[in-house]
Each structure stands twice: as C-alpha cells, then as structure tokens.
Amino acid sequence: MTVTVRPFHRSDARDVSELRRRVLSYCISTPQSVAWEVAEAPAARRLRVFVAEAGGRIVGVVKASVRHDSSTAGQGVVALLVDRGHRGLGAGRALLDVAEDHLAGHGVTRLHAYPQDDPRSLAFAERRGYRRLRLARYLRLDLVHAVLPPLPASLPPGTELCTAADFGADPRPLFAADAEVTADEPDDLTVDAMTYEDWIVHTWEQPDIDLDLTTVVTVDGEIASFSLAGTDGQGRYGSQMTGTRRAHRGRGLAGLAKTDSLRRARDACCTEAFTSNDAENAPMLAVNAALGYRPFAAEWHCVRDLSHP
C-alpha cells in the first residue's frame, strides 16, 4: 500500500484526533484542540504538522516544533504517531524524515521525542539515533467503580475549595501558582518561564481545559494547590497538572485538590481518568496510587543530536 505525506489541513482535525485517541488512549484530544494548537502556535515555535495517508485515510501524523521557550538554543520536538494497523509500511520513516528536515532547517541541533514504552516503538527510535533519558508513567482510574477517598468533614482553618472558574475575572493568581509548580517539574529540558499572556492563550483558553472541574485549594485567600483538568466530552478526564506551591507542601493539599476534582468529574459523567508522572516523582505517584490509579502505559523522553554542515 502506497503511503503519501502532506501538510496538515484544518479539515484533518477530526481524523487526527481520532488517531490520537486510538494510539494514545491516555491523552485527552478533541478536534477542537488539534485545530487550536496549529492555529494558536507562536510563530517562534515554527510548528508544522504533517499527515501520512494510505488507502485514502490518515494513518499517521507528526508534529515538529522548535522549543522557543528553552533557555538552551537549538532544541526541537517531534511527536510521531502511526496507527498500529498500518505500521511497517514506511509511514513513520517518511513522517520523521520531513519533520527532522523541517527542524534542521531552523537551526535545531537536538531533537526531543517521546516514543511509547514498547519494543517496536523503542527499536524504531533507536534505529533513528534517539537515546533514552527519562521514563514517564501514565496511570488510569476507572471512575465508574472507583472508591474515591472522602473529602474531609471539615477543612483546616483558612482552607477553602473552589474551581478555576471562580477566578474567571482575574486568573493571574492561578498563573502564578502554575508557573511555580511547573518550574519544579522533573525534566531534562530547561525551559523559560511562560509569560502571563502566553499562559492565557495556551492554558486558560485551551479548548480541552475544563475550568469547572479544575479544583483550586486556597489558604487564607491565596492559592496553595490546584489540579488542572481536561476533558474530551466522551467520558475521559485527564489531569493536566497537579501541584502545590512550595510554602504549602507536605500538608496533603495536592491529594485534596485531586480528590475534589475527580469527584467533580464523576458527577459530570466522566467514566475514566488518566494522569501521568515522571517515573522519579515519588510524591505524586504515591498520591495517585492512594486515589486508586493503576499503571496503564509509559513513554520515554528520548533525544537525538543533529549535525549541521
């Protein structure tokens, strides 16, 4: 079967979203978010998306972008997906070729990729020169049958539960909390702090973010912890970020935020929940295990160095 590669068109958004759902069932994706990411990408990111077609249908997709927010120059990211039933036809090779060429043309010297933790995906990445750095674990919770911990009968003095929607008039406090928590995330790639304006566009206004299911814990009126929620409208809920500000850690607030958010999600008819953690992030892995999450999948952060003439 002949495979052809072409640029992504907005009309491809539904097919690409469905492909993501089949291959990466633990990631929240909708046609709206697929189209939004391309339309709202900063120019400095140099984002290009390409699809592979075979037999008149999209069987693969790759995103290629420059990490313009990295303090280390020359960093690029490739995100490759090929439908499992169409692997071995050359789609992955062709997509990766065009993605790597695009990034090399913009001065990228190091490529970051995130293949799934299975022998075939890792063998393909290694043949292309990618080497493993860190493992991320994806966890799943059956919300229909989960026995979620109860919320406390009373909260500590000064502590309140609210939602991100309650900050609609001024989301800047949530931005500040997100920025602090993100800076402490384990990662091999150092990134610059996101500006408030970029955060509004790429987090607050992201189509899959559900402000009503995002729980925020405040202490004496200031945000102490939060659990950012995404949904796909088809019963799936994803924890996009859960964290506690440095001054409030060690008090169980992340677990409180996540428990409340999961309860809200179940009340909103979500049937399964997904979350991810760096394999070395023991505190959050413990929080998720206590909530009933179980291992579901894993991805490797891999890198490849490019040489330029």
Q: Which CATH number fits domain 3-113: 3.40.50.720, 3.40.630.30, 3.30.365.10, 3.30.70.260?
A: 3.40.630.30
What is the dihedral sign for C-alpha 163, 167, 169, 172?
A: negative
- The predicted-structure confidence for 209-221, as pLDDT tens digits, reads as follows 999 999 999 999 9
Order of strands, sheet of 294-305, starting from the edge strand that comes earlier in the sequence:
3-7, 48-54, 57-66, 75-82, 110-113, 294-305, 131-142, 272-278, 236-244, 222-231, 215-219, 159-163
Domain ranges of the chain: 3-113, 140-297
Q: Tell me phi and psi for residue 241, to 5 degrees.
A: -170, 130
Does this model's pTM top 0.75? yes
- The predicted-structure confidence for 104-156, as pLDDT tens digits, reads as follows 999 999 999 999 999 999 999 999 999 999 999 999 999 999 999 999 999 99
- The predicted-structure confidence for 218-251, as pLDDT tens digits, reads as follows 999 999 999 999 999 999 999 999 999 999 999 9
pLDDT at 190 over 70: no
H or E segment at 179?
A: helix 172-183
Residues 6+ apart with CB under 8 A from 232: 21, 28, 29, 30, 208, 238
Can you give the length of the chain in residues?
A: 309
CB 49 within 8 A of CB 83: no
The C-alpha atoms of residue 113 and residue 76 are separated, in whole angstroms, by 9
pLDDT of residue 309: 45
- The predicted-structure confidence for 271-301, as pLDDT tens digits, reads as follows 999 999 999 888 889 999 999 999 999 999 9
pLDDT at 22 over 60: yes
pLDDT of residue 193: 73
Q: Which CATH number fits domain 140-297: 3.40.50.1470, 3.40.50.1100, 3.40.630.30, 3.30.1310.10?
A: 3.40.630.30
The C-alpha atoms of residue 272 and residue 103 are separated, in whole angstroms, by 36
The C-alpha atoms of residue 33 and residue 39 are separated, in whole angstroms, by 10
- Please give the C-alpha separations between residue 107 and each of 43, 51, 167, in angstroms, as whole numbers: 15, 23, 40
Can 3-113 and 140-297 be said to share one CATH topology? yes
Which tokens hold the place of 109? Answer: 């010297």
DSSP letters, 25-68, are: TTS---HHHHHHHHHH--GGG--EEEEEEETTEEEEEEEEEE-T
The C-alpha atoms of residue 64 and residue 96 are separated, in whole angstroms, by 9
pLDDT of residue 283: 86
- The predicted-structure confidence for 42-98, as pLDDT tens digits, reads as follows 999 999 999 999 999 999 999 999 998 777 789 999 999 999 999 999 999 999 999
- The predicted-structure confidence for 155-176, as pLDDT tens digits, reads as follows 999 999 999 999 999 999 999 9
Percent of the chain residues topping a pLDDT of 90: 89
pLDDT at 100 over 50: yes
